[in-house]
């Protein structure tokens, strides 16, 4: 048993409270990690707000990095002291999706009981299978990706979600090819990584769309060739004028219904619309099926960038070390666990690319 300091959500929509909780030792196939950095993702905030339901009390946080402090029986590829990512991608490795190379779609249910509890034994839910708004976690070994030494932990933490979600959506899901036209709607943390992914994939034009002019300028630093204000009367027409035609791939990286309502308008015949940003449960958007059918367009969802950790993390890390992928520049604020509510408020404002808690 380990005593951990964690930020706990007791009531949806309320500030988080710091408590000392009990973290049981890792069991078969599990790993304990001392968290050194954890970024705040909008998915954490949606859960804190009750947008996707879930059990309370809970500890959220899932974009983390740290060092292994203990391993359970059967874990042989990791050792105490190893630098690692902690992700929410929990995969059995044996079901049909896992066996076909899609661990983000694993059909095996997550652990039925949380490793966290209060001192009196009352259970605390492990939000997003991680609970990384705490100084230690216990997770399944499939949620771990080894890291080379020398990468700052606050930078490495971003690889756990925001980077692989955006980059993977462009490379793995949209499968952008050299010479194609890509439109990325939303130039926040995930959007900037989708822009980087489209650039690395060889897109001829990477057009960023956002409501904030400052974010459009930042998008150009990350590889966007052009920026369009979403508040313009017909931004899809402006995009087609810039590119000379419709987009081969449109990636919606924000959970805003207006963005989804207009996304298909940017597409060329045969284009792909990729849903990345996740609105609250129950939110609805609509398209005209006749247009999709008549033009051969398609719609696909992308969860965690359809990432395979063992396949994707090494090449993404290598791109960063070569200076071809911006990661350090994504961090706009560094906070302590005691400041978590202020960091969440700053993230809500939309100004931050990524705020990171440093332990």
Residue 170: CATH number of its domain: 3.40.50.720
Domain count, the chain: 2
Residue 109 has pLDDT above 90, yes or no: no
Residue partners of 155: CB distance under 8 A and separation at least 6: 320, 327, 328, 331
Domain-located, residue 8? yes
Among 220, 212, 210, residue whose Cα is nearest residue 185: 210
Radius of gyration of the chain (CA): 20
Domain-located, residue 201? yes
The Cβ of residue 107 has, within 10 Å, a number of other Cβ atoms equal to 11
* CA pair distance 304, 242, nearest whole angstrom: 30
Compute the average pLDDT of residues 72-87.
97
Domain-located, residue 320? no
Average pLDDT score over the chain:
96
Are 30 and 154 found together in one domain? yes
**8 Å CB contact between 48 and 9:** yes
Positive or negative, the Cα torsion across 242, 246, 248, 251?
positive
Domain-located, residue 335? yes
Are 180 and 122 found together in one domain? no
Under DSSP, the state recorded for 15 is P
Range of the domain at 55: 2-160+326-358
Are 190 and 87 found together in one domain? no
Domain-located, residue 321? no
Are 148 and 192 found together in one domain? no
pLDDT tens for 178-190 read 999 999 999 999 9
Are 236 and 335 found together in one domain? no
Residue partners of 262: CB distance under 8 A and separation at least 6: 235, 236
Looking at residue 111, its pLDDT comes to 67
**8 Å CB contact between 130 and 88:** yes
Are 256 and 223 found together in one domain? yes
DSSP character string of 64-117: EEEEEEEE-TT--S--TT-EEEE-S----S-SHHHHTT-GGG--SPPPSS-SEE
pLDDT tens for 210-258 read 999 999 999 999 999 999 999 999 999 999 999 999 999 999 999 999 9
Domain-located, residue 317? no
Are 84 and 191 found together in one domain? no
**8 Å CB contact between 274 and 173:** yes
Are 144 and 184 found together in one domain? no
Are 248 and 208 found together in one domain? yes
Are 187 and 219 found together in one domain? yes
Residue partners of 61: CB distance under 8 A and separation at least 6: 7, 38, 40, 44, 127, 128, 130, 131, 132, 133, 134, 357
Are 289 and 332 found together in one domain? no
CATH code at position 155 = 3.90.180.10
Percentage of the chain lying above the pLDDT 90 cut: 96
Looking at residue 70, its pLDDT comes to 98
Domain-located, residue 19? yes
Domain-located, residue 314? no
**8 Å CB contact between 316 and 1:** no
Domain end, chosen from 288, 303, 318, is at 303
Are 24 and 122 found together in one domain? yes
* CA pair distance 325, 331, nearest whole angstrom: 14
pLDDT tens for 327-352 read 999 999 999 999 999 999 999 998 88
């Amino acid at each position: 048993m380990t005593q951990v300091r964690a930020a706990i959500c007791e009531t949806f929509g309320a500030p988080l409270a710091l408590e000392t909780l009990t973290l049981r030792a890792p069991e078969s196939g599990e790993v304990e990690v001392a968290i050194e950095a954890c970024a705040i993702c909008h998915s954490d905030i949606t859960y804190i707000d009750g947008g996707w339901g879930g059990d309370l009390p809970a500890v959220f946080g899932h974009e983390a990095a740290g060092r292994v402090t203990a391993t359970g029986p059967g874990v042989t590829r990791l050792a105490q002291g190893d630098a690692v990512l902690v992700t929410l991608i929990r995969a059995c490795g044996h079901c049909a999706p896992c066996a076909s190379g899609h661990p983000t779609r694993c059909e095996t249910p997550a652990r039925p009981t949380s490793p966290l509890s209060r001192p009196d034994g009352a259970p605390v839910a492990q939000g997003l299978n991680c609970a990384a708004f705490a100084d230690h976690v216990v997770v399944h070994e499939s949620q771990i990706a080894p890291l080379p030494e020398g990468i700052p932990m606050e930078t490495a933490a971003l690889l756990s979600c925001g980077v692989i979600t955006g980059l993977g959506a462009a490379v793995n899901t949209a499968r952008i090819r050299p010479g194609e036209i890509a439109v990325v709607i939303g130039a926040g943390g995930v959007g900037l990584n989708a822009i980087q992914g489209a650039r690395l994939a060889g897109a001829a034009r990477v057009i960023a769309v956002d409501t904030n002019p400052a974010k459009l300028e930042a998008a150009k630093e990350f590889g966007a060739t052009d920026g369009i204000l979403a508040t313009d009367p017909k931004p899809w027409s402006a995009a087609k004028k810039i590119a000379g035609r419709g987009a081969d791939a449109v990636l919606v990286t924000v959970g805003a219904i207006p963005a989804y309502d207009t996304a298909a308008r940017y597409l060329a015949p045969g284009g792909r619309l990729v849903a990345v940003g996740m609105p609250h449960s129950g939110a609805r958007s609509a398209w005209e099926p006749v247009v999709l059918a008549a033009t051969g367009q398609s719609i696909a969802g992308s969860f965690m960038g359809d990432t395979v950790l063992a396949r994707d993390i090494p090449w993404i890390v290598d791109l960063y070390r070569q200076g071809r992928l911006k990661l350090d520049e994504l961090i706009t604020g560094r906070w302590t666990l005691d400041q978590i509510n202020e960091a969440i408020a700053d993230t809500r404002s939309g100004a931050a690319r990524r705020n990171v808690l440093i332990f």
